[in-house]
Amino acid sequence: MNQGGKIGRVRVQPAILKYFSEVPGEEIWIDDLVNSTPFDEKQIQSAITRLIANGYDVRTVMRGRSWSYHGLRKPTKTANPERTVLAAVPSIPEIAKAPRTMYEEVGITSDGTIVVQSENGVLYKLGAIV
């Protein structure tokens, strides 16, 4: 139960992770976490952001308000067993060396999707990543 005020150097992430692991896969609301832990909303939201960044499979159901926990992602190496190390992203020089294909814009569909054609004649629909 949140009593308000500061609680010293208690680590938020382990407490949130413990709560999540007790109900894997279920939707957990911020109000439940605030009422079940001594942390406020901002501390909880920040801890969940760090858990996701550290590779825990915490899925956002409603941004900033509810999440579901599905375990720890498989690490690529285990230098620190408490922290997941994600696969390395290729460097810019490695990406620059990759073979390139030329695409030509063919048109735009009625729903606004851009259609392009590759050098070998294959048509593709382009969509936003985010």
Whole-model pTM: value is 0.49
Supply the mean pLDDT for the chain: 77
Q: Write out pLDDT tens, residues 36-58.
A: 888 999 998 988 888 888 888 88
CA 41 to chain centre: 19
Residue 65's pLDDT is 87
Which residues neighbour 90 within 8 Å (Cβ) at sequence distance 6 or greater?
A: none
* Of 4, 21, 77, 84, nearest in space to 50 by CA: 84
Structural domains of the chain sorted by starting position, each given as residue range(s) with its CATH number in brackets: 1-98 (1.10.10.10), 100-126 (no CATH)
Tell me what the mean pLDDT of segment 64-87 comes to.
Answer: 67
Does residue 116 contact residue 123 with C-beta atoms inside 8 Å?
yes
